[in-house]
Amino acid sequence: MLYPSLSTTSQFRRLLPDDRLIFTEGAPGGPAFLIESGQVLIFRERDGIEVEVARLGQGDVFGEIALLDGGVRTASARALKDALLFEIDPAMMRRHIDAADPVIGMVMDILVSRLRSVVGPGGYLRPDTMPRQTTESLLGQMRTEREIARAIRLEQFVAALQPIVSLADGAIAGFEALARWQHPERGIVLPGGFIPIAESARLVGYIDWLCMKAACLTLRRVKDEYGAVADLWWVSVNLSGTHFAHPETVDRIAAILKETGLPPSALKVEITETVLVSDIDAAASVAKSLRDLGVRIALDDFGVGYASLAYLHRMPLDTLKIDRSFIDQVTASPQSEVIVRAMLSLGESFSLTTVAEGIERADQAERLTALGCHYAQGWLFARPMLEAQLLPWLESYR
Ligand code: C2E
Ligand code: CA
Ligand code: CA
């Protein structure tokens, strides 16, 4: 089957094993295909030899990149198992990308630029010069990026709140919001499964804002229910260093506070040391505006990055969070204890509140209390919880 023909309607096509489908991506009106079922091998012919580009299965799409960048490249597909393909009408797809969905449009632009970096002179991915693993991980990453973009649109990202308690008396002081992906098939996905990819695809900002909004809403509801006891409770929300210093950050946060009705004093923003190192002037200016708004700032994972005293001095910080890697060893290794002591006294000299992360055992909590740390967070007290679990937990903790 050859596809120079104009196809304007979407339709199904069956590809039997060893049927070949030569498709020219980017030919005017040339379609892309969604694999409904079966397995398809995509290859390119070079000097009469089949060079495998990818093996795709149910739910995968091929031929779509050229619809986006208009580049013409020829490849062939062969069914490995009886395959049912859904032919995607390019005009429909383009309309969808241009008009209906700015997020998808942006993702596609990123994907196209990423693919260009591995496209050879022949105009197709160079599987012969690219290790097979790279081809596969590239395709895998593209699929995940597409899935993340879709999940953002469907607002599948929510916030789990983990309590932060005062070491002096065990009372709840606040919460950290941790992003969770409520995946329709995979269930709850932890941040390690999407934050790094979302960061590299420049999608993490959307997740951060969804998570912040959800966290602010939850805390507002909790405050409404608990009244005076909860007056000083705050929620700490992670913001990726890749967009913290963006000019719109302050306006976004102000808008979320207004929309959710949470007072600015109940919000903390957690940033890591990478924010400070990448552009300290821009970061300091955003931090100062947040401070003026009444939002506080915590330095996360303190001790694992590069923050120097000079940076600390320039940021209007409120809180230092001591990384779990130091807490792990605090009761076992005298060296870790020395480091934790130094960090706590640094916090004290900058008048910062201190939070120890990842407390799993009572002996760790006792040692940190003795060392003068203010707050603690960890499985010893509670795991991160979605709103539906948090409310009963609060009842039992009362
Ligand atoms: P983090 O900010 O250092 O968050 C603390 C992580 O430690 C969380 O993992 C939390 O579940 C885990 N943790 C808490 N207590 C304990 C404990 O006692 N023991 C152990 N072993 N672990 C504990 P999680 O939820 O998987 O988050 C991982 C990282 O993902 C976070 O590290 C943060 O860097 C990032 N992240 C999470 N949510 C967001 C978000 O909304 N935006 C951005 N940009 N990053 C996020
Ligand atoms: Ca954090
Ligand atoms: Ca942390």
Atom of ligand 1 nearest to the CA of 321: 3
| DSSP characters over 158-192 | EEEEEEEEETTT--EEEEEEEEEEEETTTEEE-GG
- pLDDT value at residue 175: 98
Which of 151, 181, 200 lies at the terminal end of a domain, its last residue?
Answer: 151
CA of 237 to the centre of ligand 1 (A): 11
**The pLDDT of residue 44:** 78
Pocket test for ligand 1, best of 178, 256, 329, 381 (most atoms within 8 A of CB): 178
283 by DSSP, 3-state: which? helix
Q: What is the pLDDT of residue 2?
A: 30
Question: Per residue of the chain (398 residues), what is the pLDDT tens digit?
Answer: 232 232 334 477 888 887 877 766 555 556 778 888 889 888 877 777 878 878 888 877 777 665 555 555 677 888 888 898 877 766 666 565 555 555 655 555 555 555 555 444 344 444 344 444 555 566 677 778 889 999 999 999 999 999 999 999 999 999 999 999 999 999 999 999 999 999 988 899 999 999 999 999 999 999 999 999 999 999 999 999 989 999 899 999 999 999 999 999 999 999 998 887 778 899 999 999 999 999 999 999 887 776 667 777 888 999 999 999 999 888 888 888 988 998 999 899 889 999 999 999 999 999 999 999 999 999 999 999 999 999 999 999 87
- Whole-prediction pTM: 0.72
pLDDT at 270 (0 to 100):
97
Q: Which residues contact 314 (CB under 8 A, 6 or more apart)?
A: 276, 280, 284
Q: What is the pLDDT of residue 96?
A: 58
pLDDT at 64: 66
Host H or E run for residue 22: strand 20-25
Point out the domain boundary residue: 109, 132, 151.
151
pLDDT value of residue 169: 95
128 CA from centroid of ligand 1 (Å) = 39
Count of CB atoms situated within 10 Å of the CB of 166: 14
Q: How many domains does the chain have?
A: 2
* Residue with CA at minimum distance from ligand 1 atom 37: 178
**Residue-range definition of the domain harbouring residue 91:** 4-151
Residue 230 shares a structural domain with residue 376 = yes
Ligand with the closest atom to the CA of 378: 1
Ligand index nearest the alpha carbon of residue 210: 1
C-alpha distances in angstroms, 219 versus 159, 176, 262? 11, 11, 8
- What is the CA(48)–ligand 1 centre distance, in A? 52
Are both 167 and 133 inside the same structural domain?
A: no
362-371 vs 334-349: helix axis angle to the nearest 10? 50
Q: What is the domain-level CATH number for residue 301? A: 3.20.20.450
Q: What is the CATH number of the domain that holds 21?
A: 2.60.120.10
Q: Is the domain of 142 the same as that of 269?
A: no
In the listed set 128, 151, 174, which residue is the last one of a domain according to the structure? Answer: 151
Ligand 1 closest atom vs CA 359 = 18
Q: Which residue ranges have their beta carbon within 6 Å of ligand 1?
A: 162, 178-179, 190-192, 195, 204, 207-208, 211, 238, 240, 300-301, 357-360, 377-379, 384
Type of residue at 66? A
- Taking the CA of 323 as reference, the closest ligand is 3
Q: Which tokens is 166 given?
A: 């005062």
Tell me which ligand sits closest to the C-alpha of residue 358.
1
CA–centroid distance, residue 396 to ligand 1 (Å): 24
Q: What's residue 1's pLDDT? A: 29
Q: What pLDDT, on the 0 to 100 scale, is given for residue 101?
A: 55
Same structural domain, 319 and 286: yes
Listed residue (87, 81, 33, 35) closest to 56, CA to CA: 35
Three-state secondary structure call for residue 128: coil
pLDDT given at position 65: 62
